[in-house]
Copies of this chain bind each other. A is one copy, B any other.
Amino acid sequence: MKNYTSINDIDNINAWIEEAKEIKQEPLKNKELGKNKTIGLLFFNSSLRTRLSTQKAALNLGLDPIVMNVSGDAWGIEFGDGTIMNGNTAEHIKEAAQVVSQYCNIIAVRAFPTLTDKEKDESEQVLTAFTKHASVPIVSMESATGHPLQGLTDAITISENSTKKKPKVVLSWAPHIKALPHAVANSFTQAMQKMDVEFVIANPKGYNLNPEITKNTPIYHNQEEAFKDADFVYTKNWSSYETYGENLGGNEDWLITKDKIGAAKFMHCLPVRRNVVVEDAVLDSENSLVIEQANNRTFAAQLVLKKILMQEA
């Protein structure tokens, strides 16, 4: 693994989960590993958990984090090949990625999709450009189509909270007022497909995820049916993939309620809009794992950074 940009970069998810649990037990054990090294955290978009947990993970490994809001702090970046740069972009990614590689031993990047241009989003323009032009390892802090640090976090959290050999995990679409990316849902799906769980997806018609990602995972358009005997209900809104990037409206009855999930554990990557996506009663109950998930973000990031640093060494 040179870079960590997708759940597909995980060779053995069970081994990774066990190693993450060990890190969680003793987070400062590898404090010398990142000594005198820097990680650049480049944000093209807003972030709370990712911004803080990745810094915390870096500090636990002795790395010096250097944080930058690319858009506000630096220059508009051009991604096109052969472009005559007489517009709004002042620096080409070819230079930017190589330049940042001079100062940082690892580069972590967050760049959301357009949600208007499917082809561009699926090409993962920003992330691909960094992996192509940088001379140091690249870590995705959420890209157009995936959020692999979140997906790994969720796998760890399910493993920690599972009381069965093969729990049933449901990924359920939920309503939202905006059109949101597919990244979290995609990475969660890919993570679950690698684990020994019974995994199903529930979403309204028109909201099927990219079939190249869902593959053989059963998809229900009836939420109640999907939730039957569920041990974990992972909730997330996403915009339509078919009618690309659109919020089709309606489906407010997909709101996650206490009645619906019963004894299942509730999961969400956060931020979550209360009483739009899920009702207060769920989030405020003991069945909610959302804060544990947030906590595990540190250890997922720390595992990825540790693996990269050990390989570099």
Contact = CB atoms under 8 A, between A and B. Distances in A.
Interface in A24-44: 28, 31, 36, 38, 40, 43
Contacts of A286: none
A124 interface: no
Nearest to A50: B74
Interface string A94-105: 111011101110
A274 B295 CA distance: 43
Interface residues of A, number: 61
Interface in A289-309: 290-291, 294-295, 297-298
B270 A99 contact: yes
Interface stretch (A76-84, A155-163, A243-251): A76-84
A99 B49 contact: yes
Given A86-B276, A274-B85, A74 B103 contact: no
A75 B99 contact: no
Given A47-B74, A48-B75, A102 B40 contact: no
A49 B75 CA distance: 10
B94 A74 contact: no
Interface stretch (A11-19, A65-73, A227-235): A65-73
Contacts of A272: 91-92, 95
Contact of A82 (B28, B38, B275): B275
A50 B83 CA distance: 25
Interface stretch (A52-60, A115-123, A140-148, A189-197): A52-60
A35 to B, nearest CB: 10
A291 to B, nearest CB: 5
Contacts of A177: 86
Given A51-B68, A74-B51, A273-B86, A291 B102 contact: yes
